[in-house]
Every structure is written in structure tokens, then in C-alpha cells.
Chain A
Amino acid sequence: MEAVVVLMDNLWVAIGAILVFFMIGGFILLEAGSTRMKNAGHIAGKTIFTAGIGTLVFWAVGYGFIYGDGNAFIGLSNFFYGDASPADGGLTPAVDFSFQVMFAIVSLTIAFGGFAERAKLSVYVIFAVLFSAFIYPVVAHWIWGGGWLAEHGKQDFAGSTVVHLTGAMAALAATIILKPRIGKYNKDGSSNNLAGHNQVYTSLGVLILWVGWFGFNGASTFGVADGFLGFVILNTQLAAAAGAIAAMFTAWAVTGKADVPTTLNGALAGLVAITASCGFVAPWAAVVIGLVGGIMVVFSMKLFDKAKLDDPIAALSVHGTVGVWGTLSNGLFALPALSTDIEWGQAGLFYGGGFEQLGVQALGVVASGAYAFVVAFIILKIMDKVMGGLRVTEEEEIMGLDISEHGSYGYPEQMALEEVKVSMAATTEGKYSTR
């Protein structure tokens, strides 16, 4: 019986790895749909090759920095991972590695959300290497790899902080350094809506991410014991549902329109919010956490827009702002039976745990967020100097990164048509002004 359970554990986590990797497909559709046609091929394609880079770097050094033997700050063994030993009462090292590497790739993809529609291709290549080596693994080591935050009892079930906040902070650094896309802000400070080109892609992207999240959270149980994975999946589903609805009604109440992209970001916000707490809280709390996440994401998007931080796919709000909320929510809602009793931190404020766990969660957010932001900022600043700018030229940006970085459009027929329209509009205008 025990052997069967071990095999099932391995199988479930392997399925989880596959589900999490499929989230990259969700990101491709989400990001491509949320941006303009002229950049669609580029955004889709770069997501694939940065996943490749992320994988190799994680294999070479990332895993070792997280889980290797080392100190409270970083791990320092198990580089160039190659442990083929079979299951010995637990997960095989290879299954564990496969699951872990997918999280690193997801975090990297989130970070690249902040680069969209204006960064050079070479910037993606180099930053993918540096992020996967020096940013993600350090935070992951602190919280999951037995580092100093783990010792404090930091609760982050599947990675609100480790994966989402880390990615979002790198995205924030990039957003600040890259500056807004051409045409996003007017001279008087008002902003324009550079609408994404395909809401169907974006919706499908969100749905794929949603499904993938069952692996992301569900397989973070690392096993099938007690069927606890079902509880985690239930919480995940509830929070996502609540987030979508909350964001839609909030947008409707504020702007008078039930905006589709905002609704979609609400679902993602629910998912990000429950990521830290899915294994710690009661289902009713999952609903509350998702609702709050969905409301927050709407106002967060507005605030970033006002602050002139151009965030084309709302990565800062969805993964950053809501990632913080998700992590803190543990400090409020964690059940004693799923925390104190199993010696994983303390119960939340609402269960008599006092402010202790909330404090630990806040410390984790501040320390991890600050580390990810500062290091990403320094790396990008140096790259900016060395590479003569992170951004494509104005002309290339207007042409679109499909053609400037890759030599062909993601939508060849449509883009040709656009050019005809533009030249026709110019002709008509010419006619007008000369009467």
C-alpha cells in the first residue's frame, strides 16, 4: 500500500509539473491578446525561448541555489542537476526538479510582462539568464529552501510571494526603466487605452492559466495523502470565481461598463491571491480572499496608470499588488489545524493567532519584494548602460517588434492591410486640407 501511495505521489506531482508548464500557453495567449497585433508573434515566440533559457539556467544553477546545502541566504550545491535515483519513500528527485523548474519559468514569464511591446529581443535573452540565476532562486531559497524566512514560519503554500511577487517586482523595475510605450500618455498627462488586439485570446489565456493553477496549487501538496489536494483545488476554484465576479462588478460600478479585460484580470487576481493561502484557509475565507483580490486589482490598475507606470498586461497589479494581499491573507485567515497543529507557522489573526503570523508574512513580503526589485533594478540599469539602452528604437516600436526583431509579422495579411489603410488615410487627409 505504501509503495502505491509513493507512486501516486510521484504521478500527481508529475501531472502538476505538466499543468504548470501548460500555464506558459496561457501566458502566451493572455499577453498576445492583451497587446497589439504588430507585436503578437514576438510576444508569443519570446515566451517559448525564454522558457528554454529559464529551464537550462535552472538546471545549471537555479535548483542548486534554492535547495543545495548552503546558508540562510543561498544554497550552494546540486548544480547541473542529474540525480536519477528512484523513489525512496518520497518523490524522486527528478519529479521534484521537474515540478520546481516550472515555477521558475512561470515567475520569469510574469517578469517579462513588464517588458512588453518595447524591449529589445537581446534584453529578453540576457535578463532571462540573470533572473533565473540570481533573483528567483534566492527568494525561493529563503522561503522554500530552508532559508531564513522558512525558519520564521513563513507560509506561502504555492508561491504568492516566491513566484508572483518576485516576478512582479522585476516587472516593476523594467516598467520604470523602460518607460511607457509610445502613445500611452498625452502631453497633458492623460493616458490612452492601447487596447489589446484579441479579447478571445486573452480570455482563453486566462482559462488555461486557471486550469494550470490546479497543478500549481494542487500539486504543491507534494502528494496525495488524505486527498488534501482536493481541498486545495476547491479553494483555488472558489477564489478565482470570486475574483472574476468582484472585478466585473467593481469595474461596472466605477466606470459604468463591465469591462472584459478587467473581468479577466479579476479571475487571475483571485488565483494569485489564493496561491499562498490555498492550503491554510477555510473555503469561505477563500471566497473572501478572492473577492478582495478582484476588487483590489481594479483600483491597482488605475493607480499604476495614474502613476504613469505603463503596464500593458497588468502584471504589476495582478501578480504584485494581489500577490502581496494573498501572502498577507494567511496572517488573517490561516486555520489552526492547518498551521499551528502541523507546525507550519501560526494561525491567523481571526483564529486567535494574534499578529504574529501576519507580521511574519509582512516581513516576507517586504524582504522578498525589496530583494527582487533592487537586484532586478541594478541588473537592468547595468544592462541599459552596457547594451546602449533596453528599448528598441522609436521607429522599430512603431513598426512593431514582429518585424523589427524577427523579420516577419504574426499576422502578415492583416498588417499589410493596416499599411494600406494608413496610407489611404493620409491621402484622404491631404485631400481635405487642400479642399
Chain B
Amino acid sequence: MKTYESIKIWKDENIPSFLSDSVLINNFHDQVMLKVLEVAQSKMGDIKPPCEFTWFITGSGGRFEQGVISDQDHGIIYEFSNEENDAYFMKLGEEISYGLDWIGYPFCKGNIMSSNPIWCKSLHNWQQQIQEWMDNESWEAIRYLQIFYDARTLFGKMNYVLQLKQLIYQYQLEHPMLLRRFIANIMHLRNGIGPMGKIIVEQYGPYQGCVNLKYSAFLPYVNAIRLLSIKEGIYETSTLERMRRLIHFDYEELLRDCEDNFKLLLQYRLSLLQGEDYTDTHYIKIKKVSKEDRKIIKRIIKDGKRLHDEVIQLTLSFTRT
């Protein structure tokens, strides 16, 4: 495939056959994005990359948890900085972002894209930046660190991302305060279940009567599990994989049912949306869901809140000692 257009046609033709399974669809997204990278590189003309580099994706893509549609979130780490390299990768980053948008991964509203100098740096500059983020502890810096922690190498040298994540792990060992800042950043949880035990739905707007799975269900699991992973130095990115690793750290009781719940959640997002238009993959009209499924969704939301609260308690008590 030589053009964005041909990738888009191929993607639109094939995506329906992957709608049944979260792993399949995420593998497919990976393939599509790699092809975008290829075309983007070819658009740079005859110039070959002047040095080694890594292209990573983060956000839901990094966690291997994309639905049918999601924003683009990605960055570049290259070997070393000089005028030529800086210019080349900046241009490549812009081209990638443009290409992804073209074929259906809309620009990231938070500007987490390789076209943003913050997310396109040499390894050395990345190390400095991460150090600054950790020292700085501003709300924004903590948010960036969490986003980076979900980074997964899609192309190039794997160990760049690993090296940077190790930096975060080492730092929090010496400065438990960092964990407290992470907690503060994710502490607020939107109530998913009302006091009378009903699932809370949107009151107004185009999603009236829908439950927002992202805020009520996904985020509590994702955030809690990421926090534990930072604490224990787990560098995998998918929430399920992180859970499987964390079980070995004596969190069996804490994580009970969570893996099954999260798998179901990924599945629900895909299956309940079949036949809908794909404008947003996180809202589900609760009235259209069967009684059985409603029960399960409610349980998933409840367990998510329990996990979230317990992880915060546990991490807080750890940072106090």
C-alpha cells in the first residue's frame, strides 16, 4: 500500500471481520498504524531515517484496548539529537499524525502526538523531560507520566521505552511522594451506581439514557491497575497483562474477579455496539441492554469501584510508611 487512501479502503473493508474480538481488533489497529508509518516514511522522499528510533503508541492503543474508533496517541524517541535528526523526526511526526487522521484516527485533543515536540525527542532529551515531570509534580506533568507509562513500542528499538519506564520505577522507589501525586490525579471517581442501586445514565444530550462505560467502568480498572504497576515496576501495558503479572505480587485477593470483569467489559464494548454507528464507542443505551447484561454491567462497575478504592487505600498506606 503506497497511499493513505489505499490504507483507508483496506481498513474499512476489513474492520468488520474483527468486531467480535478485542485482541483481533487491536492487532488489526496495530497493522493499520504500521502501514501509516510506512507511507509517512515514504513521503519523506529519499531521505532515510538518520538514526535509530522508536515509534510508540499510548492511551487505549498502548494498552491494547482500542474499540472500533479512537483518537491517536503516540510519540517518537530517537537515538540522539542534532539539527538534522531533530528536523527529520519532527517532520515525520507531523506526517504520521496527518496520515492517522486521514484514515480515521482523529487528532488527539490533548495533543499527545508525534507532531508535538513534547512527544518527539531524542532519548537523552526524553530522559531529561521525564526527570523534570517527576520533579515538577504539577497536575499536567503527572498526567503526562501516566500517559507515558501506557506507551507500547509499535516500531523500532523496544528498549528505549523500557529504559524510560525504569527511570520512573526507580524514582518512585526513592520518592514515595510520587505515588501520592499519582493517586491525587486519579482519585476522583464518577459515581457509576446511584444510591438506590441503579446504573447512573446521562441525563441530557445526545447520549441521554446511556451509561458512559469509559468513566463508569473502564477508568477505575485502568487507573488502579496502572498505579499498582508503577509501584511494582511492571512494564507491560495492557490492563489484562498487568493484572496477570500483579497476581504474582500477592494481590490475588485484591484482584479477584477483575480479570474476568475486564475481559467482559472489552467484549461488551464491541458486541453491544454492533449495528450502531461508530461515532462513540463508550456509550451504551441501557434500555436496549438485556436484563442479564445489565446485571453484569452493574457488577463490573461495582467491582471496579471497589478495586479503585482499595488500591488507593493500599498505596496511600504504603507511601506513609
How far, in angstroms, from A193 to B101 measured CA to CA in the complex?
31
In the complex, are the beta carbons of A191 and B208 less than 8 A apart? yes
Collect the chain A residues with CB atoms within 8 Å of residue B45's CB: none
Taken residue by residue from 171 to 195, chain A's Cβ proximity to chain B (1 for < 8 Å, 0 otherwise) reads as: 0000000000000001010111100
In the complex, are the beta carbons of B194 and A186 less than 8 A apart? no
A1 located at the interface, meaning its Cβ lies under 8 Å from any Cβ of chain B in the complex: no
In the complex, are the beta carbons of A255 and B203 less than 8 A apart? yes
Collect the chain B residues with CB atoms within 8 Å of residue A252's CB: 194-195
- Looking at the complex, which one of B191, B204, B207 makes contact with A256 (CB distance below 8 Å)? B191
B206 located at the interface, meaning its Cβ lies under 8 Å from any Cβ of chain A in the complex: yes
Cβ-closest chain A residue relative to B200: A256
In the complex, are the beta carbons of B98 and A435 less than 8 A apart? yes
B176 located at the interface, meaning its Cβ lies under 8 Å from any Cβ of chain A in the complex: no
In the complex, are the beta carbons of A186 and B206 less than 8 A apart? yes
Interface size range of chain B in the complex: 10 to 19
Taken residue by residue from 198 to 224, chain B's Cβ proximity to chain A (1 for < 8 Å, 0 otherwise) reads as: 101001111111000000000000000
How far, in angstroms, from A252 to B200 measured CA to CA in the complex?
10
Taken residue by residue from 106 to 126, chain B's Cβ proximity to chain A (1 for < 8 Å, 0 otherwise) reads as: 010000000000000000000
A16 to chain B, nearest CB (A): 39
In the complex, are the beta carbons of B195 and A193 less than 8 A apart? no
Cβ-closest chain A residue relative to B196: A253
How far, in angstroms, from A254 to B191 measured CA to CA in the complex?
12
A182 to chain B, nearest CB (A): 16
How far, in angstroms, from A190 to B207 measured CA to CA in the complex?
7
Collect the chain A residues with CB atoms within 8 Å of residue B207's CB: 190
Collect the chain A residues with CB atoms within 8 Å of residue B191's CB: 256
How far, in angstroms, from A193 to B209 measured CA to CA in the complex?
13
Taken residue by residue from 411 to 435, chain A's Cβ proximity to chain B (1 for < 8 Å, 0 otherwise) reads as: 0000000000000000000001001
Cβ-closest chain B residue relative to A302: B203
Cβ-closest chain A residue relative to B98: A435
A272 to chain B, nearest CB (A): 24
- Looking at the complex, which one of B107, B193, B194, B203 makes contact with A193 (CB distance below 8 Å)? B203
In the complex, are the beta carbons of A432 and B194 less than 8 A apart? no
How far, in angstroms, from A318 to B254 measured CA to CA in the complex?
48
How far, in angstroms, from A166 to B206 measured CA to CA in the complex?
34
In the complex, are the beta carbons of B206 and A190 less than 8 A apart? yes
Collect the chain A residues with CB atoms within 8 Å of residue B205's CB: 186, 190-193
Taken residue by residue from 73 to 111, chain B's Cβ proximity to chain A (1 for < 8 Å, 0 otherwise) reads as: 000000000000000000000000010010000010000
Collect the chain A residues with CB atoms within 8 Å of residue B209's CB: 190
In the complex, are the beta carbons of A191 and B200 less than 8 A apart? no
Taken residue by residue from 189 to 204, chain A's Cβ proximity to chain B (1 for < 8 Å, 0 otherwise) reads as: 0111100000000000
Cβ-closest chain B residue relative to A188: B206
Contact A193:B206 (CB < 8 A) given known A252-B195, A253-B195, A256-B191: no
In the complex, are the beta carbons of A192 and B204 less than 8 A apart? yes
Collect the chain B residues with CB atoms within 8 Å of residue A432's CB: 107
User: Which of A186, A188, A190, A432 has the largest count of B CB atoms less than 10 A from its CB?
Assistant: A190
Cβ-closest chain A residue relative to B191: A256
How far, in angstroms, from A252 to B193 measured CA to CA in the complex?
11
Collect the chain B residues with CB atoms within 8 Å of residue A255's CB: 194, 200, 203
B285 to chain A, nearest CB (A): 10
A23 to chain B, nearest CB (A): 30
Collect the chain A residues with CB atoms within 8 Å of residue B198's CB: 254
Collect the chain B residues with CB atoms within 8 Å of residue A435's CB: 98, 101
B2 to chain A, nearest CB (A): 21
Contact A256:B194 (CB < 8 A) given known A432-B107, A435-B98: yes
In the complex, are the beta carbons of A190 and B194 less than 8 A apart? no
How far, in angstroms, from A435 to B98 measured CA to CA in the complex?
8
Taken residue by residue from 247 to 274, chain A's Cβ proximity to chain B (1 for < 8 Å, 0 otherwise) reads as: 0000011111000000000000000000
Cβ-closest chain B residue relative to A435: B98
How far, in angstroms, from A256 to B107 measured CA to CA in the complex?
33
In the complex, are the beta carbons of B200 and A193 less than 8 A apart? no
Collect the chain B residues with CB atoms within 8 Å of residue A253's CB: 194-196
How far, in angstroms, from A255 to B194 measured CA to CA in the complex?
7
In the complex, are the beta carbons of A191 and B196 less than 8 A apart? no
How far, in angstroms, from A432 to B203 measured CA to CA in the complex?
31
B101 to chain A, nearest CB (A): 8
Collect the chain B residues with CB atoms within 8 Å of residue A256's CB: 191, 193-195, 200
Collect the chain B residues with CB atoms within 8 Å of residue A254's CB: 194, 196, 198
Contact A190:B98 (CB < 8 A) given known A253-B194, A255-B203: no
B210 to chain A, nearest CB (A): 9
How far, in angstroms, from A156 to B27 measured CA to CA in the complex?
71
In the complex, are the beta carbons of B204 and A193 less than 8 A apart? yes
Collect the chain B residues with CB atoms within 8 Å of residue A191's CB: 204-205, 208
How far, in angstroms, from A186 to B208 measured CA to CA in the complex?
10
Cβ-closest chain A residue relative to B205: A192
Collect the chain A residues with CB atoms within 8 Å of residue B195's CB: 252-253, 256
How far, in angstroms, from A411 to B196 measured CA to CA in the complex?
42
Collect the chain A residues with CB atoms within 8 Å of residue B101's CB: 435
B30 to chain A, nearest CB (A): 25
Collect the chain B residues with CB atoms within 8 Å of residue A188's CB: 206
B98 to chain A, nearest CB (A): 6
How far, in angstroms, from A109 to B293 measured CA to CA in the complex?
48
Cβ-closest chain B residue relative to A194: B204
Q: Which of A290-334 contact B (CB under 8 A)?
A: none
How far, in angstroms, from A5 to B107 measured CA to CA in the complex?
78
Residue contacts A-B, CB under 8 angstroms, 14 given? A190-B207, A190-B208, A191-B205, A192-B204, A192-B205, A193-B204, A193-B205, A253-B194, A254-B196, A254-B198, A255-B200, A256-B193, A256-B194, A435-B101
5 A-B pairs with the lowest CB-CB distances in the bound complex, closest first: A193-B204, A190-B208, A256-B200, A256-B191, A256-B194
| 14 other A-B residue contacts (CB within 8 Å) besides A188-B206, A256-B193 | A186-B205, A190-B204, A190-B207, A190-B208, A192-B204, A192-B206, A193-B204, A252-B194, A253-B194, A254-B196, A255-B203, A256-B195, A256-B200, A432-B107
Q: Which residues of B contact A (CB under 8 A)?
A: 98, 101, 107, 191, 193-196, 198, 200, 203-209
Q: Which residues of A contact B (CB under 8 A)?
A: 186, 188, 190-193, 252-256, 432, 435
